[in-house]
Chains A and B, each alone.
Chain A
Amino acid sequence: MKLQLDKFGKTLISRELGQEAFKAFQSTLRGFSKDEDLEIDFSGILTLSPSWTDEFLSPLLNLIGNRLVLLPSDNLSVQATIRILEEANNRQFKIKS
């Protein structure tokens, strides 16, 4: 399954909105097959911050582990945010090459 992250907005900054997005995604996640990967597509995102992402992608990583797959992005804020979260969580995201 592919998730277009810009469905939650193009500028994803605050923790509060990251938490809201994660709650809103729960109903979709319930229908998600255990054999399937969840691909996160960052295209369309203008700015992504570690606060928003820590409330959305970090709990997803804890829930589904390596089935969470990030698609590559040339957006500088996406790259910087992923890097700092990997460092903070001491855990690597799986990134599709």
Chain B
Amino acid sequence: MEFASEWIESGVEFPGTFYCGTSSIFNARLTKMESVLMQMPGFEKLYSLIVLVTGEIGDNSFAHNLGKWPDTPGIFFGYDLNKGIIVLADRGLGILETLHQVRPELQSHVDAVKVAFTEFVSGRAPEKRGNGLKLVREVFMERPIDLFYTSGDAEVRLKGSRKAFQVTRGQRIARGCLAKIEFKSV
């Protein structure tokens, strides 16, 4: 988590093993993670939803920043399945700037992240996109998987047994997006 936070906040380099420069590399590493996760006791069915949310968040980073990366292209993708932690991060445009192109009335990171997680709207209109984060939210709300997500100064925390979706304003400003997915491994 520290590697990812420091990278998106101040561009501090991190070990190359966590770096996915292209979506193909991300997909290959995701498939490798899937093959380990599906064999872990207790995850025989749940693995597919964890891979789904990880894949959607990572794929969003590539899809929405294609040809627009402000500096370093690609994403941070690290995980420790024994500890039940997956972290994804990018130094892309972030949710507000991406959605601002199709929803110019959005003024704050909090409002933009709320829209991204609750409405069928795409930052790549007129292409018909924008269902992934809605499903991500539903999966975290319904399943024993926790999420911390930040973009700009907006933060989403879906944690514990009684989750309520809420976007709050945090103390730090994240460049791009950062997601931490947590689940209890047996």
Name A's B-contacting residues (CB within 8 A): 11, 13-17, 46-51, 54, 58, 74-78, 80-81, 84-85, 87-88
Question: Are B63 and A46 neighbours in the complex by a CB distance under 8 Å?
Answer: no
Question: Are B56 and A49 neighbours in the complex by a CB distance under 8 Å?
Answer: yes
Q: Does B185 contact A (CB under 8 A)?
A: no
Question: Are A84 and B134 neighbours in the complex by a CB distance under 8 Å?
Answer: yes
Complex Cα distance, B152 from A80, in Å, reads 29
Complex Cα distance, B125 from A66, in Å, reads 27
Number of interface residues of B (CB under 8 A): 28
A47 interface neighbour in B52, B128, B138, Cβ under 8 Å? B52
Question: Are B63 and A13 neighbours in the complex by a CB distance under 8 Å?
Answer: no
Asked whether A80 and B138 contact (CB < 8 A) given A11-B51, A15-B63, A47-B52, the answer is yes
Complex Cα distance, B38 from A75, in Å, reads 12
Identify whether the interface residues of B are mostly helix, strand, loop, or mixed.
Answer: helix
Question: Are A50 and B51 neighbours in the complex by a CB distance under 8 Å?
Answer: no
Q: Does B168 contact A (CB under 8 A)?
A: no
Complex Cα distance, B120 from A81, in Å, reads 14
Chain A residue, CB-CB nearest to B49:
A76
Question: Which of B62, B63, B130, B132 is most buried by chain A, counting CB atoms within 10 A of its CB?
Answer: B132
Q: Which of B38-66 contact A (CB under 8 A)?
A: 38, 45-49, 51-52, 55-56, 59, 62-63
Question: Are B27 and A11 neighbours in the complex by a CB distance under 8 Å?
Answer: yes
Asked whether A77 and B59 contact (CB < 8 A) given A11-B27, A17-B27, A85-B131, the answer is no
Q: Can you offer 12 A-B residue contacts whose CB atoms are under 8 A?
A: A11-B27, A11-B34, A14-B23, A16-B63, A17-B27, A46-B34, A46-B38, A50-B132, A50-B135, A54-B131, A80-B138, A88-B120
